Amino acid sequence: MIQIIPTQPIDGQKPGTSGLRKKTRVFRQPGYLENFVQSIWDGIGGGQGKVLVLGGDGRFFNTQAVQTILRMAAAAGARRVIVGRDGLLSTPAASHLIRSRGADGGVILSASHNPGGEDGDFGVKYNTANGGPAPESVTEAIYQATTQITQYQTLDSSDLDLSAPGTAHLHQTEIEVVDPVAEYAALMEKLFDFGAIRALFDSGFRLRFDAMHAITGPYAQEILVNRLGAADGSVVNATPLPDFGGGHPDPNPVWAHELMGHMMGDAAPDFGAASDGDGDRNMIVGRGVYVTPSDSLAVIAANAHLVPGYAGGLKGVARSMPTSAALDRVAEALGIACFATPTGWKYFGNLLDAGHATLCGEESAGTGSDHIREKDGLWAVLMWLNILAARRQSVAEVMAAHWQEFGRNYYSRHDYEEVDSDAAHALMEDLRARLDRLEGQTFGALRVAEAEDFSYTDPVDGLVTARQGIVVSFDGGARVVLRLSGTGTAGATLRVYLERYVAGPEGLQQDPQTALREVIDAAEALCALHARLGRTAPDVVT
């Protein structure tokens, strides 16, 4: 029986770049999840007759939230909901299911790389029929619905058994439970030369994939071990846990320090990789060498022709504005377009749908292509494995050859996490007010060539997105980018991106923090980061 529950708006339910993210305890408040889900239905014109995909990364509260959303989808009149077994789906797998099944959209439960558990974070986002994150027009409609809501609809029914694939009915809605891995794995087999990668493993090539107790564990075990022949034990921390084993499922050298220790040790395997909470981010490591996400994107673009799914060439490439210009140099050599967009995967969607770009990536460890409309961590790992199998070189050799050909964009991101929100916003606004006076000024050893508050005009629909981060470029090509992140749930996170280009052939093997010292000093002189934020150093350096 359908129940109509009176309610009222709850402040703060405005979706960010990746849906609505809050502390788990906030989402568990009575009516909080229900208000937002009802607002999704209201914002998309209702759920009547729609086909939806549903699943999440298995973090704490995932199980209960899936059952709540199933009841609400049925009450809204959805024709069918395709849900991953036990309520699990990686974000890339959910995007693929939406596209392959012709669904109207999907609800993905995740806070991505944020910590999980009862005291951690939770998130809900809506993806549209192309499989990608909802554009601003949709998220704004959802937000407006949250400010006007007076009731939500649900069913008075017990939980469904989601433990095995099959079909059931909830009220008049068909609920299809699917294997969360199978269709995604089949897609990967179409894109990559699994035979060549199997031969690589047969030759004695060793891999270590750290799933960080997150959703990618079962995917990596099935594809890397069962289908490609990596040795048993190659996938570690493979069982998804509600609190990610107490860890922070963010694939970077700080949080994936266990993997970094193995890869930098004397007995390191040939290749290391990690993925995040919902499976859309990646980290690539070779024996003794860490590959930045910006460099990884550039290497993939330069070598994509070696991979069957991309042998016909790239239509174009795209990167988020803070991502290094290493990709631009590859695009110029290939004679293809390179787009710089605001941060947030949804901005790539129009480029991919319109055929303007094939590969996209962000410095925050997200890389993907037009095979889906989300970034895809395991896909990036398979791209690297296919490239290594084709080139018959180590990761270090691939990187050295790439830098010799294109030069090196030394790059680092310094994160100041959970800083005082007022102080962070004041710093940014003060800097904005000075932008038109910065050109020609010297900070540290560097002279400002130009400064801007980045604005993006979508080449497909003409939509203008302003105030996306402050870019200060210096003579010689170095730059500093400052941006407030939209993915945290407490305080503010200020990200400072630092970049310097070295053409080579000398100076290509420096420690990045050493190579960037003048840029780091210029950033501090520019806006007194440490004094204004009350910090002596960044919390995370990647």
pLDDT in tens, 103-123: 999 999 999 999 999 999 999
For 469-532, the DSSP string reads: -EEEEETTS-EEEEEE-SS-SSSEEEEEEEEEEE-SSSS-SS-HHHHTHHHHHHHHHHH-HHHH
pLDDT at 265: 94
pLDDT at 318: 98
Structure tokens at 83: 């849900």
Structure tokens at 474: 């210096």
Q: Average pLDDT, stretch 286-312?
A: 97
**Do the strands 173-178 and 80-88 form a parallel or antiparallel pair, or are they unpaired?**
parallel
pLDDT of residue 491: 79
- Do 2-179 and 184-406 agree at the fold level? yes
CA neighbours closer than 13 Å in the CB half-sphere of residue 540:
19
User: Over 80: is that where the pLDDT of 138 sits?
Assistant: yes
The CATH class given to the 184-406 domain equals: alpha beta
Confidence of residue 344 (pLDDT cuts 50, 70, 90): confident
Whole-angstrom Cα distance, residue 350 to residue 533? 37
Of 219-223, 445-449, 531-535, the least confident: 531-535
Q: What is the CATH class of 2-179?
A: alpha beta
Asked whether 398 and 387 are in contact (CB, 8 A), the reply is: yes
pLDDT at 485: 82
| Residue 57 in this model has a pLDDT that exceeds 60 | yes
The catalytic position among 18, 39, 110, 112 is: 112
Radius of gyration from C-alpha coordinates of the chain:
23
Given this model, what pLDDT does residue 355 score? 97
Pick the CATH number of 408-541 from 1.10.10.10, 3.30.310.50, 3.30.479.30, 2.60.260.20: 3.30.310.50
Mean pLDDT over each residue of the chain, to the nearest integer: 96
Residue 60: predicted pLDDT = 97
- Residue 167 pLDDT greater than 90, yes or no: yes
Q: What is the mean pLDDT of residues 165-194?
A: 97
Residue 71: pLDDT band (50, 70, 90) is very high
Question: Using 50, 70 and 90 to split pLDDT, how confident is the model at 540?
Answer: confident
Instruction: Please say if the pLDDT value at position 487 is more than 70.
Output: no
- 489 pLDDT band (50/70/90 cuts)? low
Report pLDDT for 17: 77
* Cα 413-416-422 angle, rounded to 5 deg: 135
Q: Which residues pair with 114 in a beta bridge?
A: none
Count how many residues are written for the chain: 542
User: Comparing 71-80, 311-320, 339-348, 445-454, which segment has the lowest mean pLDDT?
Assistant: 339-348
Query: For tokens 């239509």, what's the residue?
Result: 315
CA 347 → CA 96, 294, 318, 319, 361, distances in Å?
Answer: 18, 18, 10, 10, 11
Q: Where are the domains of the chain?
A: 2-179, 184-406, 408-541
- Contact at 8 Å (CB) between 402 and 302? yes
pLDDT at 433: 96
Residue 234 has pLDDT above 80, yes or no: yes
- Expressed in angstroms, the distance from the first to the final Cα of the chain is 52
- Neighbour-count burial of 78, counting CB atoms closer than 10 A to its CB (0-12 exposed, 13-18 middle, 19+ buried): buried
Q: Is residue 383 classed as helix, strand or coil in its secondary structure?
A: helix
What average pLDDT score do residues 163-179 get? Answer: 97
pLDDT at 78 over 80: yes
163 counts as catalytic: no
How sure is the predictor about 367, in pLDDT bands with cuts at 50, 70 and 90? very high
**Taking 70 as the threshold, does the pLDDT of residue 490 lie above it?**
no
Question: Cβ of 45: how many Cβ atoms within 10 Å?
Answer: 10
pLDDT of residue 488: 53
468 — pLDDT class (breaks 50, 70, 90): very high
Contact (Cβ atoms closer than 8 angstroms) between residue 35 and residue 9: yes
Yes or no: say if 102 and 199 are a contact pair by the CB < 8 Å rule.
no
Task: Report the DSSP beta bridge partners of residue 21.
Answer: 123
Over range 358-386, report the average pLDDT: 97
C-alpha to C-alpha distance for 287 and 269, rounded to whole angstroms: 6
